[in-house]
A = this chain, B = another copy of it.
């Protein structure tokens, strides 16, 4: 069955900053939208545009054909999918379940197994691109699960993202998202150390960027976040506390695969120091404060 706005009810769980924009695009595309969120006020805008409110994930699941989740932590994902009053116990047969939360690959595999036993189809489909990507429907969406399930859901995923890529079996979406976070974590250390060094050496960091950002040291973090650091702007594009969550997932899954990631381990320890400094609600670029503190003069 092709999933069009005419025959598909979408249930969306988790209408935070990201989820709100993503669900809004589905509503805009004409899909009947049912929503649940831990904090109802965060769904108000969607409700005013015609979305239907539910008091529980179970109630939402019972009335949807496609259920999309965008929540916080793996523990939330686990409860919402696998809990007694969770999605899998309450979804209609043949429903599609798409978890877009950044969560653990092994949990995604457990969800798929539990879903399949009930005749449900599931995908793990975490995103990158942040609040701006969500707002502009330009997310990168990394998808794991059965290829047929991916094909069936692609038209819906394309409404929220501009780079929707099938990565393999259940968990592959989450594994891919972890690759993304692993690359970012070390690069952020490099950007912060380069800036701390520049400052200590008495250089003008903006002039340094003119020399280095278009060359081999060039990166999205260097061009996007170094200017914020230079301006003392530590407002969150991406929260420190969420980045630590992701690094924990990556390190746990790496451990399960017998893979040692020394640089990611170092990054996590430096970010934990940042939390001790009271910066968990800052943006990830605040790592600069830890590096700079290493300076002893």
A interface, CB within 8 angstroms of B:
105, 128-130, 140, 142, 163, 165-168, 171-172, 175-176, 178-187, 189-191, 193-198, 200-204, 207-208, 210-212, 214-222, 224, 238, 250, 253-254, 257-264, 266-267, 270, 291, 294-297
Contacts and interface: CB of A to CB of B under 8 A. Distances in A.
A263 B193 contact: yes
Contacts of A180: 194, 211-212, 215-217
A295 B128 contact: no
Given A194-B179, A200-B259, A219 B294 contact: no
Contacts of A253: 201
B207 A128 contact: no
A204 B200 CA distance: 42
Nearest to A186: B190
Given A198-B175, A201-B172, A263-B263, A130 B186 contact: no
Interface of chain A, helix or strand or loop or mixed? helix
A205 to B, nearest CB: 8
A261 B197 CA distance: 8
Given A182-B197, A220-B219, A260 B294 contact: yes
Contacts of A193: 182-183, 186, 261, 263-264
Given A182-B197, A193-B186, A263-B193, A168 B216 contact: no
Nearest to A219: B219
Contact of A257 (B182, B219, B297): B297
A295 B259 contact: yes
29 contacts: A128-B216, A128-B217, A129-B216, A130-B216, A167-B203, A167-B204, A168-B202, A168-B207, A172-B203, A175-B197, A176-B198, A178-B197, A178-B201, A179-B195, A179-B203, A179-B212, A180-B211, A186-B189, A187-B187, A187-B219, A189-B263, A190-B190, A197-B259, A200-B254, A200-B258, A201-B253, A216-B238, A260-B295, A263-B263
